[in-house]
């Protein structure tokens, strides 16, 4: 009997524990239904966030790698510069090389003989640089232009023009100062070719100019142009510019062998150590006569450069000892300013050459190849414009190549290159054609130069000559202003008011 209550008590206790456990698990299960989904959702969200973060991180790495690869590819493209090969290391070739170098192009110049400079006192003598050419040089490299102007002799600040050879009287005077000042251009100078070439060569760099390297041929395909030198070496480039003068090998290769035209004039040149009384007032004069003319210019340092042109048959042989005597036969009766210069010049400083030019051509190149300066448009030197026009060519060519470069590396194809070269030719054609025509007309007009006619003992004015003089006084000043200033367009790349010269 006593066990029963104990048994009941234990049973009750057990039931109470069981109930409590049952209640706990029921509550736990009830709670689990509400809490676990929240925990799962939170866990899944965190898991998804981690996965997304990893994906984005990987994506960013991929994009960064692609950008890095693109940057490397772009750097490779930037490193691949357009290479310009230049045949000829004269004034035109060196100015083009300087302009190309300053514009970021790779450039190589090939010259047959840098020591054979057509320099001071030899054949062509010093070179005249008009305001137009000097303005372009300033636009290319102001430091180099300053050196050139400092080394040159300023003639544009004095009286210049045409005079009668017999009397010495002025026929026409040209103001070279006012047009230059109005256009904010440097004043015309004359400079020794040797000095000019030395300044340009130092600026370009001797590592760019290959001496004893005459270009004798070239070949081209859609991807490159290859030049061949006289010693058999070959060099590759993107563009070839023939700046190798009137006897250009590049021109011959482009258009076949064409004979140059003898102008009918031979030229004696000399350098006199003489300071005339008019040195502070007159820069240069062109003395005119029938079938002959005489050019005299101050070149600084107590020297006068002169050129004597005479119409005669082509001469292949010249006796070295009789040039001065021959000149006195031709010009001995002319005014004192002419005969004094001839008399003051040593025999060994007098040189003679026959004057040639070529008919104007209206295409200067093919594909990746073009011409520049005398190689493209050789003309007679009676206006002294050969060097100036070559410098103008250089600037125009670089402008067109720069516009091609701005379109991006991928655009520099054969089509883009040939198009740029054609635009250069078209921009320069009219101006060079006009100057070419004027040089020929000027030479031919001297055949009829006759200031007076004689009727018995009377000397009467020659009417056609009077008309000719009127033309010179009215028209030529405008023509000279056009030569001096050209047609100018400002460039964003330069501070100076110089740049694009076209017709």
345-396 pLDDT tens trace: 999 899 888 999 999 999 999 999 999 999 999 999 988 899 999 999 999 9
What is the rounded average pLDDT for all residues in the chain? Answer: 81
Question: What pLDDT does residue 316 have?
Answer: 61
More confident residue, 45 or 177: 177
Q: Which of 360, 355, 501, 482 is nearest to 428 (CA)?
A: 501
How far is 484 from 503, CA to CA, in rounded Å? Answer: 13
pLDDT-above-90 percentage for the chain: 60
Question: What pLDDT does residue 486 have?
Answer: 73
**pLDDT tops 70 at residue 118:** no
Q: For residue 371, list its beta bridge partners.
A: 242
> Quick check: 265 and 290 in contact, CB under 8 A?
no
Q: Which of 121, 118, 116 is nearest to 348 (CA)?
A: 121
**pLDDT tops 50 at residue 477:** yes
Range of weakest confidence among 160-164, 246-250, 311-315:
311-315
pLDDT digits (tens, 9 = 90+) for 266-291: 999 999 999 999 999 999 999 999 89
How far is 210 from 200, CA to CA, in rounded Å? Answer: 14
pLDDT digits (tens, 9 = 90+) for 314-357: 876 666 668 899 999 999 999 999 999 999 999 989 988 899 99
How far is 442 from 295, CA to CA, in rounded Å? Answer: 14
Q: For residue 350, list its beta bridge partners.
A: 270
Range of weakest confidence among 80-89, 415-424, 482-491:
482-491
Question: What pLDDT does residue 494 have?
Answer: 38
Question: What pLDDT does residue 401 have?
Answer: 94
Count of other CB atoms within 10 angstroms of residue 36: 11
pLDDT digits (tens, 9 = 90+) for 294-309: 999 999 999 999 999 9
**pLDDT tops 90 at residue 409:** no
> Quick check: 354 and 260 in contact, CB under 8 A?
no
Phi-psi bin for 273: left (phi > 0), alpha (psi -120 to 50), beta? beta
More confident residue, 31 or 484: 484
Phi-psi bin for 152: left (phi > 0), alpha (psi -120 to 50), beta? beta
Q: Which of 106, 108, 81 is nearest to 234 (CA)?
A: 108
Q: For residue 460, list its beta bridge partners.
A: 453
How far is 372 from 376, CA to CA, in rounded Å? Answer: 5
Question: What pLDDT does residue 288 have?
Answer: 93
Domains observed in the chain = 82-485 (3.50.50.60)
Count of other CB atoms within 10 angstroms of residue 305: 26
Residue 58 pLDDT level (bands cut at 50, 70, 90): low
pLDDT digits (tens, 9 = 90+) for 1-32: 334 444 434 344 433 444 444 433 444 444 34
Q: Virtual CA dihedral for 384, 482, 371, 215, nearest 10 degrees?
A: 30
């Amino acid at each position: 009997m006593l066990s029963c209550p104990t048994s009941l008590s234990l049973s009750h206790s057990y039931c109470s524990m069981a109930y409590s456990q049952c209640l706990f698990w029921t509550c736990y299960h009830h709670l689990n239904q509400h809490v676990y989904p929240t925990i799962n959702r939170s866990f899944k969200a965190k898991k998804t966030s981690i996965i997304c973060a990893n994906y984005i991180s990987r994506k960013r790495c991929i994009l960064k790698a692609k950008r890095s690869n693109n940057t490397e590819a772009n750097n490779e493209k930037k490193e691949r510069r357009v290479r310009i090969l230049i045949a000829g290391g004269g004034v035109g070739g060196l100015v083009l090389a300087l302009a190309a170098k300053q514009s970021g192009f790779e450039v190589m110049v090939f010259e047959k003989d840098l020591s054979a400079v057509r320099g001071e006192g030899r054949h062509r003598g010093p070179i005249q640089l008009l305001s137009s050419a000097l303005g372009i040089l300033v636009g290319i490299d102001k430091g180099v232009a300053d050196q050139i102007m400092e080394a040159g002799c300023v003639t544009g600040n004095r009286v210049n023009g045409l005079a009668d050879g017999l009397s010495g009287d002025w026929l026409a005077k040209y103001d070279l100062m006012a047009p230059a000042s109005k256009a904010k251009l440097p004043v015309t100078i004359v400079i020794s070719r040797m000095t000019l070439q030395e300044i340009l060569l130092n600026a370009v760099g001797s590592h760019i100019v290959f001496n004893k390297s005459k270009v004798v041929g070239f070949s081209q395909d859609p991807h490159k142009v290859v030049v061949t030198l006289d010693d058999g070496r070959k060099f590759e480039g993107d563009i070839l510019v023939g700046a190798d003068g009137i006897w250009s090998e590049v021109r011959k290769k482009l258009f076949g062998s064409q004979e140059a035209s003898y102008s009918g004039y031979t030229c004696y040149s000399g350098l006199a150590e003489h300071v005339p009384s008019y040195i502070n007032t007159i820069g240069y004069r062109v003395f005119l006569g029938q079938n002959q003319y005489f050019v005299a210019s101050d070149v600084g340092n107590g020297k006068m450069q002169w050129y004597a042109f005479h119409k005669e048959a082509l001469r292949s042989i010249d006796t070295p000892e009789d040039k001065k005597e021959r000149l006195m036969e031709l010009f001995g009766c002319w005014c004192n300013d002419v005969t004094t210069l001839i008399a003051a010049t040593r025999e060994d400083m007098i040189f003679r050459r026959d004057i040639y030019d070529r008919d104007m051509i209206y295409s200067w190149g093919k594909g990746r190849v073009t011409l520049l300066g005398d190689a493209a448009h050789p003309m007679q030197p009676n206006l002294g414009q050969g060097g100036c026009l070559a410098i103008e060519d250089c600037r125009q060519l670089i402008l067109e190549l720069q516009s091609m470069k701005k379109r991006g590396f991928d655009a520099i194809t054969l089509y883009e290159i040939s198009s740029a070269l054609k635009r250069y030719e078209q921009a320069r054609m009219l101006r060079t054609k006009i100057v070419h025509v004027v040089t020929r007309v000027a030479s031919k007009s001297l055949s009829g130069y006759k200031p007076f006619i004689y009727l018995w003992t009377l000397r009467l004015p020659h009417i056609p000559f009077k008309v000719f003089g009127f033309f010179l006084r009215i028209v030529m000043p405008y023509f000279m202003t056009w030569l001096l200033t050209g047609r100018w367009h400002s460039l964003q790349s330069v501070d100076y008011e110089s740049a694009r010269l076209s017709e």
